[in-house]
Structure 1
């Protein structure tokens, strides 16, 4: 009899453990499921870093965005402290650095590879690629929506670092300048049509001809000729095309000039620092796992060639160049 009682007690205990284990598993699965839902929801509802609705026709906004995408520079970020932008950017029609855009609109990209620790990207302490994506959507004949995203992708670990918003704001500033320039151009052209060649700017244009001078008779337009409005529109289109080509050429020349000026500033602002750690590794690239060029010792002087947020490019006393973390250096007293 006691043995039967003990057997029932052990069986009840085993059933209780199995039930508790099943309940624990069910709770874990529920937590994982809820976490997955939250993660999916955050990804689905995450929008662009910058968006704005403009009271401008779609074609006009797209043209201004295309000019900026082809400008050769990315505003609002830089590699070295004495720079104001990233030069050497390239226009691309497609990019794998962003998720595929499934919504409506025209998508354009601007990419700058081999970028070292660009500013205004969160926790960017490596070499990688900066990319900007523009999405232009037509809302109505006179309303357009614009999205701008900027991201930095590391070469080594392929981690993505989003912008803090400053890059997108500066890029839109460039687009806004071009839209304003187009408005001023159209205003000037409209004003110029009132003073076309062959008409004087004074009130004499509508007065009667001088005495003993036959009145001027305007020839009638030939049958089948294009209307004046169509001719003016064609001239305006040609003028805008020429202006666009000249602006592109000017942007390219300005980018080259900016690079030369940046290099000149680097040469003028060269400084000398020394190693404050007992041992500091000079690396061929500015990240922790890069190849070691040589080991520097405490008190050794080096010449600073360039600076990023966390790394200094230096030249040692024996002429070797490389990168060293700023934490191992101190300014000469």
Structure 2
């Protein structure tokens, strides 16, 4: 460039006769055109380089327990799918990705947070990456930051890097937003399942309390029936025995439930072996019982055994 300017000045310093020659005029025109073309090329090169480094990125907040947020994020990182892009129109799901420990495709992350990477190798002109027309690697980076108790910010970036020319094609934003949507859906599912589990635990606790209350009422009723049949002298002993034997099990031969405590009484039902019953009345040869479905009757003592 310096020699070109010097040539122009040398031509200008010649005598006026030489400056008017056709050769001098052609030299000046050529020099001016060369300078204009050079400046245009410099401007175009600068604009092209800036376009190659443009990135969009994505960030959003998630609310929930840290363990739940991490589980949702790691589930998407390891789901083998790059969401929001595809290669073939007939199959608009790009599966075959893998989680990796590190990647240089997006540079070094200098901020705080836990970093995850997912890559898909040998993708051919993936959709939703700017100007992607070659084969290369898709890299998705996730950064999870804790900004407050049970509140997190996640940063997601995605790029496509050509294998041969190493040109970088940033995502148009669809990949990042699609990955975040999957994470949010995973988190919603985890939180919903936890809510169901809490409701199940509460329902089980209520059922246990109801059964305990029923057993307590049955024991009280059994004590009242025993008091009507027993003398005051052995009442305490009978109640103590009843508490230890309030529930018994039908022996291996089965049992017949009678309407009254003698053999000639009508048979109300037959119980299969290992059927549990609640003992309500104790007599020398018969036991007044109640089945799990609320039926009452009498069974001979030898047809019942204690629970193991």
TM-score range for the pair, normalised by the shorter chain length: 0.5 to 0.7
Q: How many residues align?
A: 183
1:202 Cα deviation from its structure 2 partner:
9.0
Tell me the residue number matched to 1:113: 121
Q: In structure 2, which of residues 55, 63, 84 is the aligned counterpart of residue 55 of structure 1?
A: 63
1:175 corresponds to 2:183: yes
Q: In structure 1, which of residues 172, 196, 212 is the aligned counterpart of residue 222 of structure 2?
A: 212
Change (3 A) 1:114 1:56: same
1:118 Cα deviation from its structure 2 partner:
0.5
C-alpha distance in 1 between matches for 2:141 and 2:194: 28
Q: Is the 8 A contact 1:76 1:167 kept in 2?
A: yes
Q: In structure 2, which of residues 133, 151, 160 is the aligned counterpart of residue 152 of structure 1?
A: 160
Change (3 A) 1:142 1:47: farther
Q: In structure 1, which of residues 185, 200, 206 is the aligned counterpart of residue 207 of structure 2?
A: 200
1:158 Cα deviation from its structure 2 partner:
0.5
SS at match of 1:200: helix
C-alpha distance in 2 between matches for 1:108 and 1:48: 18
Q: In structure 1, which of residues 128, 133, 139 is the aligned counterpart of residue 141 of structure 2?
A: 133
Tell me the residue number matched to 2:106: 98
SS at match of 1:68: helix
Q: Is the 8 A contact 2:87 2:126 kept in 1?
A: yes
Unaligned ranges ≥5, structure 2:
1-12, 14-38, 224-241, 245-308
Change (3 A) 1:156 1:180: same
RMSD across aligned C-alpha pairs, in angstroms? 3.4
Q: Is the 8 A contact 1:209 1:215 kept in 2?
A: no
Q: Which has the larger radius of gyration?
A: 2
Matches within 5 A, 1:239-258: none
1:127 Cα deviation from its structure 2 partner:
0.4
C-alpha distance in 1 between matches for 2:243 and 2:193: 35
1:85 corresponds to 2:119: no
1:56 Cα deviation from its structure 2 partner:
2.4
C-alpha distance in 1 between matches for 2:55 and 2:123: 26
Matches within 5 A, 1:1-333: 49-196=57-204, 200=207, 206-207=213-214, 208-210=216-218, 211-212=221-222
Q: Is the 8 A contact 1:106 1:135 kept in 2?
A: yes
Q: Is the 8 A contact 1:123 1:161 kept in 2?
A: yes
1:184 Cα deviation from its structure 2 partner:
1.0
Unaligned ranges ≥5, structure 1:
1-12, 14-27, 217-333
C-alpha distance in 1 between matches for 2:92 and 2:207: 48
SS at match of 2:222: coil
1:83 Cα deviation from its structure 2 partner:
1.3
1:75 Cα deviation from its structure 2 partner:
1.0
C-alpha distance in 2 between matches for 1:189 and 1:133: 33
C-alpha distance in 1 between matches for 2:120 and 2:147: 31
C-alpha distance in 2 between matches for 1:201 and 1:124: 63
1:123 Cα deviation from its structure 2 partner:
0.9
Change (3 A) 1:215 1:132: farther
Task: With the length of structure 2 as denominator, give the TM-score of the two structures.
Answer: 0.52
Q: Which of structures 1 and 2 has the larger relative contact order (alpha carbons within 8 angstroms, sep 6+)? A: 1
